[in-house]
Each structure stands twice: as C-alpha cells, then as structure tokens.
Amino acid sequence: MYKVGILSMQRIFNYGSFLQAMGLKSIIEELGGEVQFVDYHPGECLIPSKSSGGLKRKVEKVVETFKYKAPLSSKLKFIKYKKNYASNYYPYLGITGEMNYSPKVDLLVIGSDEVFNCVQNNTNVGFTPELFGADNNADRLVSYAGSFGNTTLDKIKQYNISEKLKEWFDDFDSISVRDKNSVKIIKTLTGKDPYYHIDPVLAYDFMNKCNEIPKTVLEKEKYMILYGYSGRFTVDECEFIKRYAKEKRLKIICIGGVQNCCDEFVDCSPYEVLAYFKNAEEVITDTFHGSIMSIITHRKFVTLVRNSGYGNAEKLTDLLGRLHLDNRIVKNVRGTSGIMNDDIDYPSVDKVISMERENSYNYLKKQLELCK
C-alpha cells in the first residue's frame, strides 16, 4: 500500500473545503492508497491584507456578525459553528491540531480547491511555496484539480512571479487542474497541457457511496437554501431574496454563513449539509461548492456570478459551462425568478459527470501505479 499525502485546504473552516478534501481522500483510499493530509506554512500576501490576524481578527469577525440583520439566535449559532468547527470536523479527515509538514510519502497530491490562488490577500494562504511543491519529501509529485481561483495570468505578470511558478511547476511529475483559467496559466508558464479534471465533490459519488449522509432533516417547513460566505449577499440582494421567498412561501435557511435575510442559520455537519440540500425546494448560491452541492443533490438552483470584489467568474462559468448548466447563471439576483422555474435535465448532467468521474479515477490510479 502506497503512502499518499494530500496537500490541500483541509484546515479552512468551510464545508466545500471539507468535502473536496474528503472526496479526494475517499477516492485514493478506494484505489488502495494510505492517505494522510499534509500542511503548509502560510506565506506573505502579495496583495496586502486589510484584515488583522490571530485573536484580533476573530474579535473583528464576531463584531461583524452582530451587524447582520439576522435573528440573534442565528448569529450565535454561526459564532458557535466557527468556534467548534475544528474539533467537530477535523476528526472525520483524520487530522488533529498537530501540523504535518513535509512527511515522507510515496506520492504527494496537491489539490483540489484553490491551492494555486497565490495573488490574493488571504492571510491563511498567502504566496506559499509549499502549495507549489517546494520542499516536499515525496518520491512523486502531482496535482489533482488544483485551481488558481481568481488569480489570472495578468495578475501573475503584474506581481512578477511567472519565473518562480514555472520553476516550481517544472518539478511536477503530472499536473491536473479544474478550470480553463488554470489550464491557460499552466500552459503559458510551462508550455505543457495539464490534465483537466472535475472537483472531488463531483468526482467522488457522495450521494451513493457515503453512509454518513442522513436521508432527512428535522426541518418541517418548506425551505430554500441561501448558501454563501457571511454577508456577501448585499442588503439589496437580501431584500429581493426575502420578497422572493415570501412569494414562494419558503423559509430561508442560511448554511455556511449568516446573511441579512436569513430566517435561520443552520449549524450542522458537512454530511448533514448534503441532506439539507437534498431536501430543499430551491437553492441560491454564489459559491463554487454551493453550486456543486446543488447539482449532486439534483436541486433547482441559480448561481450568482460576481466579477468584482473576490470575483468568482473564472471558476463558476467554467464549472457550469462544462456541465451544460450555464443557463443557471445570474449576474443579478433579480434574474432568479425566471431561471428557477426552468427544469434541469439532470440525466444528461449525470452522464457528463459519470464520464468525468471515470477520467478522474483513471488519472489517480495511474499516479499510484507509477509509484512502483
């Protein structure tokens, strides 16, 4: 049995980050690998961060939460969710508070998630050489469905890191990315075509293979899910969503973050999140994994694509276009009504996912076999 390290975003307090890590772990274990998660040292941010670090940042986040126009109970639930996330969900992944830097492994897999998103101001990541394979202690180095997120070629050139990235990527034995923006960057930097694979939350068949997902949830009212980072839906967007939900007679359940229009924030496990999605009437999201969770649970959904702020256009337009679901994109949340009424041809979507899953399994199986 080969020892496999996964270097990913497994310590980010986010359901999507958890599920992609668990999905990749589950696939590699199915293929016979012995998995451990590998950590990295956050680097300096290329874009200066306005936020503080450590305890001060946590206090700022709590203060920010209490400013939202949400029930007090939801705000308190959200704070509790963040406080207990690590102790509640790290054990599922087999990680502890002790960091695991550069272990000796047969195969190191970097990915998935935004492991290559290096031009950003997130102090939990920064510009981190280890996320590009530097100082690894593996016999073989590959990536799987890694993403540059909203880091583009223009940003890479602006911050003069092209040569350094090329140097690191030249040391990879195989490179796999999950979106066309990342394909373009790798091809330009290295002159090589990377593999193009789906995110592990799609690649691993959670809904049919994972026994941890409850079949039902306790919620008795019909509800819609509003899924996004806290406060990222604007006041105007929330006002529209509140009216929309009232017309549909749906309770607004917020998962992952508190919003100004939520009727209730739900604090639940990553597996229970999938059960909530499965039992929802509709979903509105502006996130990559919120879209994927809607798709694998066959929900009616719309995805709000944002070009400004922490833009998500690169990864979301690629994901939904690839699955022939770009008609679920809205640039303004007011476009929700018309799109939500349109049915989704999920049998056709599932055929695409099935083919992509086979490609993913074949790629990872090959990487393990090449360790011999």
Task: Return d(Cα 361, Cα 90) in angstroms, integer.
Answer: 25
Please determine, for residue 57, whether its predicted confidence score (pLDDT) is greater than 80. Answer: no
In the chain, the domains with their CATH numbers are 3-50+94-205+353-369 (3.40.50), 214-348 (3.40.50.2000)
Task: State residue 52's pLDDT score.
Answer: 56
Least confident of 184-193, 206-215, 311-320: 311-320
Task: State residue 367's pLDDT score.
Answer: 98
Q: Which two tokens stand for residue 292?
A: 């994927």
Please determine, for residue 309, whether its predicted confidence score (pLDDT) is greater than 60. Answer: no
Please determine, for residue 321, whether its predicted confidence score (pLDDT) is greater than 60. Answer: yes
pTM: 0.95
Please determine, for residue 290, whether its predicted confidence score (pLDDT) is greater than 70. Answer: yes
Task: State residue 70's pLDDT score.
Answer: 82
CB-based contacts of 199: which residues, under 8 Å, 6+ apart? Answer: 20, 23, 112, 113, 145, 178, 288, 289, 292, 319
The residue among 234, 265, 235, 240 whose CA lies nearest residue 252 is: 265
- CB 228 within 8 Å of CB 290: yes
The residue among 121, 144, 97, 143 whose CA lies nearest residue 47 is: 121
Burial of 90 (0-12, 13-18, 19+ CB in 10 A): middle
Query: What are the φ and ψ backbone dihedral angles of 169, each rounded to 5 degrees?
Result: -65, -25
